[in-house]
Amino acid sequence: MNTKLAASCLMAGALLLPFASYAADADSYRTSPKAYAKDSAITVKIKEQLAEEKLSSLVKIHVDTDNQGRVSLTGTAATQEAADKAVLIAHRTKGVTSVQSKIQVKADK
Q: Is the pTM of this model over 0.75?
A: no
pLDDT of res. 23: 47
Whole-angstrom distance, CA of residue 35 vs CA of residue 48: 20
Average pLDDT of the residues in 74-79: 89
pLDDT in tens, 7-58: 565 565 566 555 544 444 445 545 555 555 567 888 888 888 888 877 666 6
Q: Is residue 48 included in any domain, yes or no?
A: yes
Whole-angstrom distance, CA of residue 28 vs CA of residue 32: 10
Q: Is residue 10 included in any domain, yes or no?
A: no
Average pLDDT of the residues in 78-83: 89
Identify the CA nearest to 67 among candidates 99, 42, 100, 103. 42
Q: Is residue 92 included in any domain, yes or no?
A: yes
Identify the CA nearest to 86 among candidates 70, 94, 95, 74. 74
* CATH number, position 78: 3.30.1340.30
Q: Is residue 13 included in any domain, yes or no?
A: no
pLDDT of res. 9: 56
Q: Is residue 58 included in any domain, yes or no?
A: yes
> What domain range includes position 67?
32-105
How many of the other CB atoms lie within 10 Å of CB of 2?
6
How many of the other CB atoms lie within 10 Å of CB of 8?
10
pLDDT of res. 52: 83
Structural domain count of the chain: 1
Whole-angstrom distance, CA of residue 109 vs CA of residue 106: 9
pLDDT of res. 51: 82
